[in-house]
């Protein structure tokens, strides 16, 4: 299989591991910086160039598109899709997952458990909006935050109102959730590949914080997941259309609740904590799907 890893940086752990796994499994692999891919689109065909050279014929791409380049990165990925490459996560699925509000709507509609969530636009509606949620503590999240940076806990109604007012002043989109105290600052990252949880880790917030993100000083260790947790993680990835996903769950008194679904989950923390060759599992899955596509095409002709 001729494989491309779409990643801005060849030195990142996740990128290096994917390249390594692809080589180990005997594939030809190249890392392409999505921001250096450019294309000509017209009704009589597509052309893509990379640093001055024409590129084509990639059987599959594994997108590792950072939040800061979502728009251009997914446009490049879409072009690969239109040129016939297989991708475990489509450009549309990545866009769905990046938008917390949109993905919460889709997951809730499929009956997937999550903390109760409210969102609204007009400042005149804030008081009633918060009454729809219930009393504090509240968790306020930026719609497109990442690594825990845009997630705040408010203990009092006045604080919730103040934070919301400030965010509105900055024209930031946000959602407000009920706080799940039973989680005690821990969450469960389930790494889903091709409809299976291949690895899981429990992350614990540092003392004095409720956010368990590793970037916020959280610590991780390998975790065993229950069947119910696996099922929720697998369903969440499927609803958003992601072949590879890092599904963050929180253990609550009413069962596993989905916090978010990451479309480009990092490999370092999870491989470290679980000891699983997650990169290998991703490449195997992509190769398997590529093989199936070839067989389908052969049977059609």
Ligand X SMILES: Nc1ncnc2c1ncn2[C@@H]1O[C@H](COP(=O)(O)OP(=O)(O)OP(=O)(O)O)[C@@H](O)[C@H]1O
Report residue 13 as tokens. 């752990």
DSSP track, 86-115: B-SB-HHHHHHHH-HHHHHHHHHHTT----
Q: What is the Cα–Cα distance from 169 to 172, expressed in whole angstroms?
A: 8
User: Minimum distance from CB of 265 to Mg ion (Å)?
Assistant: 9
For residues 119 and 174, the answer to whether their CB atoms sit within 8 Å is yes
Q: Between residues 58 and 260, which has the closer beta carbon with respect to ligand X? A: 260
| Cβ neighbours around 113 below 10 Å, total | 17
Side-chain half-sphere CA neighbours of 260 within 13 A: 24
* Interaction of residue 271 with ligand X, rule CB under 6 A: no
* Interaction of residue 210 with Mg ion, rule CB under 5 A: no
| List 229, 260, 271, 277, residue binding ligand X (CB under 6 A) | 260
Site string for ligand X, 140-159 (x = CB under 6 A): -x---xxxx-xx--------
Q: Identify which range of 25-33, 41-49, 120-128, 176-184 contacts ligand X by CB under 6 A.
A: 176-184
Q: Between residues 245 and 276, which has the closer beta carbon with respect to Mg ion? A: 245
CA diameter of the chain: 67
Report residue 110 as tokens. 């499929």
Sheet with strand 45-50: strands edge to edge: 37-42, 45-50, 53-54
DSSP-derived 3-state class of residue 264? coil
Q: Identify which range of 12-20, 123-131, 206-214, 292-300 contacts ligand X by CB under 6 A.
A: 206-214
Q: Which does 28 bind (CB under 5 to 8 A by kind): Mg ion, ligand X, none?
A: none
User: Minimum distance from CB of 192 to ligand X (Å)?
Assistant: 14
Interactions with Mg ion, residue window 132-151 (CB under 5 A): 146
Intra-chain end-to-end CA distance of the chain, in Å? 21
User: Minimum distance from CB of 211 to Mg ion (Å)?
Assistant: 8
The binding site for Mg ion (CB under 5 A) comprises 146, 248, 260
The binding site for ligand X (CB under 6 A) comprises 115, 139, 141, 145-148, 150-151, 177, 179-180, 183, 187, 205, 210-213, 248, 250, 259-260, 262
Question: Residues annotated as binding site for ATP?
Answer: 141, 178-179, 187, 211-213
């Amino acid at each position: 299989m001729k494989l491309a890893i779409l990643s801005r940086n060849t030195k990142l752990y996740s990128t290096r591991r994917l390249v390594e796994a692809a080589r180990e499994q005997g594939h030809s692999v190249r890392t392409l910086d999505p921001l250096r891919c450019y294309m000509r689109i017209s009704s009589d065909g597509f052309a893509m160039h990379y640093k001055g050279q024409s590129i084509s014929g990639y059987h599959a791409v594994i997108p590792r598109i950072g939040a800061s380049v979502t728009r251009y990165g997914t446009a490049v990925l879409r072009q690969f899709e239109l040129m016939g490459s297989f991708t475990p996560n489509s450009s549309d699925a990545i866009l769905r997952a990046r938008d917390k509000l949109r993905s919460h709507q889709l997951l809730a509609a499929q009956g997937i458990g999550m903390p109760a969530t409210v969102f609204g636009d007009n400042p005149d509606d804030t008081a009633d909006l918060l009454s729809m949620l219930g009393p504090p503590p509240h968790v306020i999240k930026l719609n497109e935050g990442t690594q825990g940076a845009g997630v705040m806990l408010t203990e009092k109604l006045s604080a919730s109102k103040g934070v919301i007012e400030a965010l509105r002043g900055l024209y930031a989109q946000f959602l407000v959730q009920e706080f799940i105290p039973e989680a005690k600052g821990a969450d469960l990252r389930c790494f889903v590949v091709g409809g299976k949880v291949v690895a899981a880790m429990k992350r614990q917030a540092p003392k004095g914080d409720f956010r368990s993100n590793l970037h916020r000083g959280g610590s991780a260790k390998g975790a065993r997941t229950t069947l119910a947790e696996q099922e929720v993680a697998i369903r969440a990835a499927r609803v958003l259309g992601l072949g590879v996903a890092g599904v963050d769950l929180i253990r609550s008194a009413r069962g596993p609740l989905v916090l978010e679904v990451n479309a480009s989950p990092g490999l370092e923390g999870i491989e470290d904590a679980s000891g699983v060759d997650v990169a290998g599992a991703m490449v195997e899955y992509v190769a398997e799907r590529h093989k199936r596509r070839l067989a389908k095409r052969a049977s059609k002709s």
